[in-house]
Amino acid sequence: MRVAIEEAKRSLVAGGTPLAAIMVKDGKVIAVGHAQVGKLRDPTAHGEAECIKIAVKALNSLDLAGCTMYSTVETCSMCLSCGAWSGLTKVVFGAFKEDIVGNPYEFKNYHAIEHVKNLQVPWTSENIEIIGGVLKKDCAELMKNFKNWAPN
Ligand SMILES: [Zn+2]
- Interval 28-69: pLDDT, tens: 999 999 999 888 999 999 999 999 999 999 999 999 999 999
Confidence check: pLDDT of 104 > 70: no
pLDDT > 90: percent of the chain: 62
Give the pLDDT of residue 149. 66
105 CA distance to ligand 1 middle (Å):
6
The rounded distance, in Å, linking the Cα atoms of 2 and 70 is 9
Among 19-33, 41-55, 98-112, 121-135, which is the least confidently predicted range?
A: 98-112
Of 7, 48, 74, 106, which residue is the catalytic one?
A: 48
Catalytic, 48? Answer yes
77 CA distance to ligand 1 middle (Å):
6
Phi, psi (deg, nearest 5) at residue 63: -105, 110
Who has greater pLDDT, 111 or 96? Answer: 96
